[in-house]
């Protein structure tokens, strides 16, 4: 009945930092009572002395533990039978202990017998699925993910959701615990099958929370003080500019020589901005294609033919002599528009329609990385065409279609002809816009963003977005995307990658 009462509820671990200013009975009681006022359904208390102090002050169920640093065993949580007995007598409703498969002073079975013999429930703090299976076989009442990541090797940053989900297949009584710092961590743990969630440091360890915030504040402060050298390498041109707090300062622009490659482009930029030396503390580079762990690979070589797995970040760092960061150009522009432009801080999708098509997605204030938003290489179900969308929409396609119709010139020339009433040019622009309209409708139906922000030389060409809006399928007002023009202009990618670099480095 006790475990059932904790289903989908919060347990607050009131454990102060050892030898810290809150490591006293009065503070622990205060933590416990504050947690109760806030709605906690149970408490986790360390040490018999602190449990004795808290027990008379609350009726909430208490998970009791004792921590010891032993010379002859790595077991820290309730290692001895006397510890388990003392916790039971002090008023714990559940006694938790280290159930890992390591050298231990008391067997798991003996601990369970001692706990059950005093009418209390036994909780196994596990590091793995094998730990959980062994503890359940020995008769434990509930299992926790508490020790995942703490039995050797590098401690992960976040909770072990995979272990929580795997444990749930063994028993419904899985307690999620360990590195649950954020609201999303707690809710995801429940969605992955946790019976209850334990949160400790994020609530009761003031020193840790202060350190987290101080780290982020200091990192942001550094970013605000020091300009970032932002480089945006596109299929037509390369822009380099100094970005400070979302604003562009000195800049230069050169044409992209498509016959050479990244090493040449980087060297060209380095030579062009030589006089800026000492004015920036990091470099951020926005590029078409895919960035994985600082390595650059093409997704559509017709947009920009780069070698596979080019070590972009390493090459930037060695060339400019400062820490470097790289991201996809459209994802960078999405972040720039979200933070400083037409995104207005809302859930959004960004589309850049230029030499090719790129995109970025921002959800709940977070930019999705990896392949997310690479709309240019989609074969859209709505368009029912076999080529990537950017090969039937972009500036390259518009110019190629014009040449097929017997008119030489770039995309800008076609737009001029369309505005002059030339039917052949109008048809090309209309086909491009109608395909983009179908893409926008697909995006709305799959992601339901609050707005779709469109940028790029084609996307922002006079009258183009009006054509896109007019070509949208009539699916009713609820399904109609809100399409707006980008406001950061040609600096969107540079602004976005500068901010990403400033927070990542």
Closest to 359 (Cα-Cα) out of 276, 279, 442: 442
Q: In angstroms, rounded to a whole number, what is the distance separating the alpha carbons of residues 143 and 100?
A: 11
Same domain, yes or no: 183 and 58: yes
Give domain status of residue 283, yes or no. yes
Cα-atom radius of gyration of the chain, to the nearest Å?
A: 29
pLDDT digits (tens, 9 = 90+) for 1-38: 999 999 999 999 999 999 999 999 999 999 999 999 99
pLDDT at residue number 384 = 55
- The answer to whether the beta carbons of residues 57 and 29 sit under 8 Å apart is yes
Of the pLDDT bands very low, low, confident and very high (cuts 50, 70, 90), residue 304 is: confident
3-state SS of 426-480 is HHHHHHHHHHHHHHHHHHHHHHCCCEEEEECCCCCCCCHHHHHHHCCCCCCHHHC
Print the domain residue range for 121.
2-210
pLDDT at residue number 21 = 96
Estimate the crossing angle of helix 161-168 against helix 129-138, to 10 degrees: 30
pLDDT at residue number 267 = 96
pLDDT at residue 50 above 60?
yes
More confident residue, 504 or 42: 42
Q: Which of 24-38, 121-135, 369-383, 484-498 has the lowest mean pLDDT?
A: 369-383
pLDDT at residue number 203 = 96
pLDDT at residue 171 above 70?
yes
Average pLDDT, integer, range 230-247: 92
Report the CATH number at residue 37. Answer: 3.20.20.70
**SS3 at position 41:** coil
Question: How many independent structural domains does the chain possess?
Answer: 3
pLDDT digits (tens, 9 = 90+) for 129-156: 999 999 999 999 999 999 999 999 889 9
Same domain, yes or no: 285 and 367: no
Average pLDDT, integer, range 273-278: 93
Give domain status of residue 421, yes or no. yes
pLDDT at residue number 489 = 85
For residue 231, give both structure tokens: 């480089």
Cα separations in angstroms, 238 against 163, 229, 272, 304, 421: 46, 13, 11, 12, 33
Same domain, yes or no: 301 and 154: no
What is the average pLDDT score of the chain? 93
The string of DSSP codes covering 105-150 is SS-HHHHHHHHHTTT-EEEEE-SSHHHHHHHHHHT-SEEE-TTTT-
**SS3 at position 418:** helix
pLDDT at residue number 240 = 97
Closest to 14 (Cα-Cα) out of 42, 39, 489: 42
Average pLDDT, integer, range 103-116: 98
**Residue positions counted in the chain:** 505
pLDDT digits (tens, 9 = 90+) for 310-355: 999 999 999 999 999 999 999 999 999 999 999 988 999 999 998 8
Query: Per the confidence metrics, is the pTM higher than 0.75?
Result: no
Same domain, yes or no: 325 and 347: no
Same domain, yes or no: 254 and 397: no
Report the CATH number at residue 276. Answer: 3.30.420.40
Q: In angstroms, rounded to a whole number, what is the distance separating the alpha carbons of residues 194 and 55?
A: 26
Same domain, yes or no: 354 and 327: no
Same domain, yes or no: 255 and 198: no
């Amino acid at each position: 009945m006790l475990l059932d009462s904790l289903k989908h509820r919060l347990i607050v671990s009131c454990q102060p930092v050892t030898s810290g200013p809150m490591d006293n009975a009065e503070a622990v009681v205060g933590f416990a009572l504050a947690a109760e006022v806030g709605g906690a359904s149970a408490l986790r208390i360390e040490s018999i002395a602190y449990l004795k102090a808290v027990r008379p002050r609350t009726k909430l169920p208490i998970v009791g533990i004792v921590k010891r640093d032993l010379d002859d065993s790595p077991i820290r949580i309730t290692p001895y039978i006397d510890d388990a007995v003392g916790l039971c007598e002090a008023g714990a409703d559940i006694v938790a202990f280290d159930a890992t498969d390591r050298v231990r002073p008391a067997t798991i079975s003996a601990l369970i017998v001692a706990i059950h013999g005093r009418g209390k429930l036994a909780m196994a703090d596990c590091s793995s699925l094998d730990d959980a299976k062994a503890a359940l076989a020995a008769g434990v009442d509930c299992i926790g993910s508490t020790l995942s990541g703490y039995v050797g090797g590098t401690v992960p940053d976040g909770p072990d959701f995979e272990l929580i989900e795997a444990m749930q297949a063994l028993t419904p009584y899985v307690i999620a615990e360990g590195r649950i710092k954020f609201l999303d961590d707690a809710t995801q743990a429940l969605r992955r099958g946790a019976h209850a969630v334990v949160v400790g440091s994020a609530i009761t360890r003031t020193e840790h929370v202060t350190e987290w915030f101080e780290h982020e504040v200091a990192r942001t402060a550094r970013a605000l003080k020091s300009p970032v050298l932002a480089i945006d390498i596109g299929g037509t041109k390369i822009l380099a500019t100094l970005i400070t707090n979302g604003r562009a300062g000195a800049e230069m622009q050169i044409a992209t020589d498509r016959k050479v490659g990244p090493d040449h482009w980087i060297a060209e930029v380095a030579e062009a901005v030589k006089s800026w030396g000492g004015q920036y503390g990091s470099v951020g580079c926005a590029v078409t294609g895919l960035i994985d762990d600082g390595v650059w690979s093409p997704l559509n070589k017709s947009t920009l033919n780069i070698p596979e797995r080019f070590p972009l970040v390493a090459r930037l760092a060695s060339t400019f002599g400062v820490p470097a960061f790289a991201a996809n150009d459209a994802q960078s522009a999405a972040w720039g528009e979200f933070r400083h432009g037409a995104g207005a801080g809302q859930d959004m999708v960004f589309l850049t329609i230029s030499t090719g098509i790129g995109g970025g997605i921002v959800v709940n204030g977070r930019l999705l990385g990896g392949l997310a938003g690479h709309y240019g290489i989609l074969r859209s179900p709505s368009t029912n065409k076999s080529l990537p969308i950017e090969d039937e929409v972009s500036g390259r396609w518009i110019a190629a279609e014009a040449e097929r119709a017997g008119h030489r010139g770039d995309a800008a020339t076609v737009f001029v002809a369309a505005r002059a009433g030339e039917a052949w040019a109008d048809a090309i622009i209309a086909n491009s816009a109608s395909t983009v309209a179908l893409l926008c409708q697909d995006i709305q139906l799959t992601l339901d963003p609050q707005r779709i922000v469109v940028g790029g030389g084609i996307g922002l060409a006079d009258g183009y977005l009006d054509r896109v809006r007019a070509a949208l399928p009539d699916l009713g007002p609820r399904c109609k995307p809100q399409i707006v023009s980008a406001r950061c202009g040609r600096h969107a990618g540079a602004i976005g990658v500068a901010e990403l670099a400033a927070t990542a480095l």
